Structure 1
């Protein structure tokens, strides 16, 4: 049985994980495991790697990220993900709407009247 906290986390992840991935790629390209480690470090944003790779594939299909293969010194080649111009635009749009949205939610949680 899923707890109320788990249900709330799942719903919040569905809404923001895509943009957290884009934000993680803002400074530099990264490969999947790198992103999984970064996003999963506190177990809040990413519950499992199983949700990340389908999301990365969808972002690629939507043209928000581009991929390249690069050789690795410690194993097989790695697929690196990098923001496209459309990815930057999507992240900018989310950033512009996030703070007012977050502030409105915080305001209701602190004082619903």
Structure 2
């Protein structure tokens, strides 16, 4: 009975260790320290938005190091439409309403 319990315990530990290793491998980390709770590297790449143009083509906005790139995929060739798009500029700080635009009556 103790023999079978030891086998089950060994298999459980191997399964948990394999799950941690697979998570680290699929997550993009490759160091032994990252598998066992080390600091994770900062993410530099992210898909910000995507939009389906039709059944095949898709526009993808990719952010890399706070610079965005607009890419069209799915056609005969993938195309980079625009590069070097900066972060969006907000019109007014949070909590403040934007001032309405006034037209000078003398200029109108």
TM-score category, normalised to shorter length: under 0.3
**In proportion to residue count, which structure has more strand?**
2
Instruction: Give me the TM-score of the superposition, normalised by structure 2.
Output: 0.23
Q: Whose relative contact order is higher, 1 or 2, with alpha carbons under 8 Å and at least 6 apart?
A: 1
**In proportion to residue count, which structure has more helix?**
1
Instruction: Give me the TM-score of the superposition, normalised by structure 1.
Output: 0.22
